[in-house]
Chains A and B, each alone.
Chain A
Amino acid sequence: MKNLLEVENLKVNFRTKKERLRAVRGISFSLKKGETLCIVGESGCGKSITSLSIIGLLPSNGEIAEGSIKLDGNELLGKTENELEIMRGNEISMIFQEPMTALNPTFTIGFQLREPLMIHKKMSKKEATKKSIELLEKVGIPNPVEKLRQFPHELSGGMRQRVMIAMALACEPSLLLADEPTTALDVTIQAQILELMDELKRQMGMGVVFVTHDMGVVAEIADRVMVMYAGEVVEIGDVDRIFNHPQHPYTKGLLGAVPNVDDEEHHLNIIPGSMPNLDDEISGCRFHPRCPYAMDICRKKNPTTFQVTSSHQSKCWLQEVTDVDRLHTTS
C-alpha cells in the first residue's frame, strides 16, 4: 500500500537568545492509510515537536531546518500559510491534551463545530448544524441538540475531549494527529475515548499519529511504535515486536519502568540518570551515559540505524554486534 505520510530526515531547531537548540535531530518515518503509529518517549524527547511540525504549528521560535514531510506525495514544507490553512482541519487534524485550551470558551459548541464545515466544506449553516448533530452522536455524546447550545465550561473533561474529536473529524481528514489526548483523563474515561478513536479510525480509514508516554495506551491502540529519545528515533517497529522483542536498551528500560498490574512479582526496572537537555552535546550515542550496555564505540560514534527485521529498526551498536555474532554462528 502507498504511504499516506512520509517524513524524511526531519530536523527542527529552536532559536533562543544564546544559541540554537536542536529539538529534533533528523528523523524519518512513514505511515500507511488506516494505520496507527504511536510516538513514545519521555518529556523533552521531541515527540510533540514532531507532530506540530507535520501540521505546521511550531511555535514562532521553532524552525524546520532540513528534511521533507509528504502527505499523499505532496510536499508540505515550503507551503505558504494560506495553503496550510486550507489543509488544516480538512486533510490533517489534530487533537490536543487539554481540550479546554483548544476550545474557545466564548463560543458555543455548535458554533465551533460548524466552523470547519462551513469553511472547508462550504456547507450552509443548516447543513452544518445537521452534520454537527451527527458528529456528536458519533462520538457518543448524549442529547447532541442541547449540547450544541452549551459552552465548553458546561461539559466535563471527557465530554470536552469528545467534542474535540468530533471537531477534528468533521471534515473527514486523511491524517489525524493526537498529542496525548487521554493523559489528563481518568482511566475509565480514557478507556472509552481510546475505544472510540479506534472505532472511528476503522470506519473512516484515516492514518493516526498518536503521541503518548503511556506504554499501556500504546499496547492498546498502536499498529506500529516509534520510540524517541533526546530528539532521535531509537527504535521503530510493529507493536508486537516492540513489546515482545525490544532491541534498544532504552526501549527495554521504558518497558521495565511501567508498573504492571497483572504481574505479582514485577520489579520496577530503573533507568539511571535523567534525560539530557536539548543543548547537551553528547559524543557518540545520545543514550550512552545511561545505557547499561555502553561499549567503547558508543562513546565515540553515533550509531546508524540497523535493520532488525524488514519492518523493525534499532539505532544501537549492539545490533551490529549481534549481526557479527550471527555471521559467526552461520559460518
Chain B
Amino acid sequence: MLTDSTPLLETNKLKKYYPIKGGLFKKTIGNVKAVQNVSFQIYEGETLGVVGESGCGKSTLGRTILGLEKSTGGSISFRGKTIHHLSESKLKKFKKDMQMVFQDPFASLNPRQRIGDALEEVFVIHTNLNKSERKKRVLLLLKEVGLKEEHYRRYPHEFSGGQRQRIGIARAIALNPSLIVCDEAVSALDVSVQAQVIKLLKDLQEKYKLTYMFISHDLGVVKHMCDRVLVMYLGTMVELGSSEQIYRNPLHPYTKALLSAIPRPVPGRKKNRVKMQGDIPSASNYPNGCPFHTRCPLAQDRCRTIVPEWREVEEGHFVACHEV
C-alpha cells in the first residue's frame, strides 16, 4: 500500500439525507439518513472495499463522492481540493479523473447504439480528437479489456454479461482516470466470469496505477480485491482497517456477524455463527444511540442512548463500538 501524505480522495463528515415530504404543503417531516458522518481517505494506488448489507448506504456513498448525488453536509476533497460545492461545469474536469463501473452496464448502454459509438462519445465530450483518432482509441480500449475489434460494430444485446461488464470497464478507463468507483461491478456475474473480470480489474490497476473504491456485498470478492476495507451499517461507518485486520481480527460485532454468515465452500465445516436478531432497520426510523444496538448480541444500556465514538484500536484499525 502506498501511503503518501495527501490522500487521493478524502471525505470529512460526509452526509447525504433524503427528505421525507408529507402533510398539506409537502413540508419536510423527516429525513432518510442514507449516509451519516462518513470520513475516510483513499490513497493513490490502493483498493478500498466498502461492504455492508443492502440499505447500508454504500452505493449512495459512492454516488455522492462522484457528484452524482448532491451531498447534504460535510466535505469531499480530491487531490487536496474540495469538490463537493463545485458547479456542474467546474466539476467536469474532475469527472474525467473519477469514473464509475455499475452493476448492470446494460442499463447504462443505449440499446440502439453500436458499442463503438457509445465508447466514442466519451472522447467527443471530453477531448478534441477527430473521428479517425477517436476510432483508433476505441479499438485500443476494446483490446485493453479483452474484447475484439469486430465488437466495435455490435449492439449491446449481442454481448454476454461478462462482455458487457468489460464494456463498462472500457468506458470507465477511457480517459485515464485515477479513481474508479466500482459499484457491485462483479456481483451479477457467474463465478467463472466473475474471476475473469476480477483479474481484468487487477491487471488494469497494475498497468495504469488505478485507485479503486470497490463497493460490494460479497465479502469473498472484497477480500480478494482490496487492501483496506470499510464496513458500513445503516449509513454510518462501523469498522475500517486493512484487509488482514478486518478478516483476521474483526472487532465490531456486526463485522463478526457478517463474516460468520458467509457460506464457505467447505462441506461439513462447523458453523460458529454470530447470531444477529432480525433485519436492518429502516433508515427513516433511525435508532438512538448505536445504530446496531437493535440487532447486537452484546448490546448494553449505554448502547441504546450514547452513540459510540470512532476510535483507533491499533494502527490503521478503527471501530465504533462501546464494547470493544
Contacts and interface: CB of A to CB of B under 8 A. Distances in A.
Interface of A: 42-43, 142, 156-159, 186-191, 194, 213-220, 222, 239-240, 243-244, 253-262, 266, 268-271, 274-275
Contact of B162 (A222, A253, A259, A274): A274
Given A215-B265, A255-B265, A261-B219, A270 B191 contact: no
A186 B295 CA distance: 15
5 contacts: A187-B262, A219-B263, A261-B220, A270-B199, A274-B193
Contacts of A275: 160, 190
A188 B219 CA distance: 12
A215 B247 CA distance: 20
B276 A188 contact: yes
A256 B258 CA distance: 23
B267 A42 contact: no
Tell which of A42, A255, A259 has the most Cβ of chain B within 10 Å: A259
Interface in B228-275: 247, 257-269, 271, 273
B147 interface: no
Contacts of B6: none
A257 B193 CA distance: 9
Nearest to B295: A188
B263 A260 contact: no
A240 B263 contact: no
A187 B261 contact: yes
A188 B257 contact: yes
A219 B217 contact: no
A188 B258 contact: yes
A189 B217 CA distance: 12
Contact of A258 (B53, B191, B196, B278): B191
A187 B264 contact: no
B70 interface: no
B265 A258 contact: yes
B259 A261 contact: yes
Closest 10 CB pairs of A and B: A216-B263, A259-B220, A42-B190, A191-B261, A257-B195, A186-B53, A271-B192, A187-B261, A215-B265, A268-B195
B54 interface: yes
A43 B160 CA distance: 11
A158 B276 CA distance: 13
Nearest to B219: A261
Given A217-B263, A274-B193, 15 more contacts: A42-B190, A186-B217, A187-B262, A191-B260, A220-B263, A220-B267, A257-B195, A259-B218, A259-B221, A259-B223, A260-B264, A261-B247, A262-B264, A271-B196, A274-B192
B85 interface: no
Contact of B265 (A42, A157, A240, A260): A260
A243 B264 contact: no
B262 A261 contact: yes
A215 B219 CA distance: 14
Tell which of A156, A222, A262 has the most Cβ of chain B within 10 Å: A262
Nearest to A215: B265
B122 interface: no
B191 A261 contact: no
Given A259-B220, A261-B219, A274-B160, A268 B265 contact: no
A59 B190 CA distance: 23
Contacts of A219: 263-267, 269
A274 B279 CA distance: 37
A254 B194 CA distance: 11
A243 B190 CA distance: 19
B192 A240 contact: no
B224 interface: yes
Contacts of B257: 188
A272 to B, nearest CB: 8
Contact of A188 (B161, B221, B247, B261): B261
Given A159-B279, A188-B53, A188-B258, A268 B268 contact: no
Contacts of B271: 220
Interface string B179-203: 0000000000011111110110000
Contacts of B194: 257
A253 to B, nearest CB: 6
A257 B195 CA distance: 6
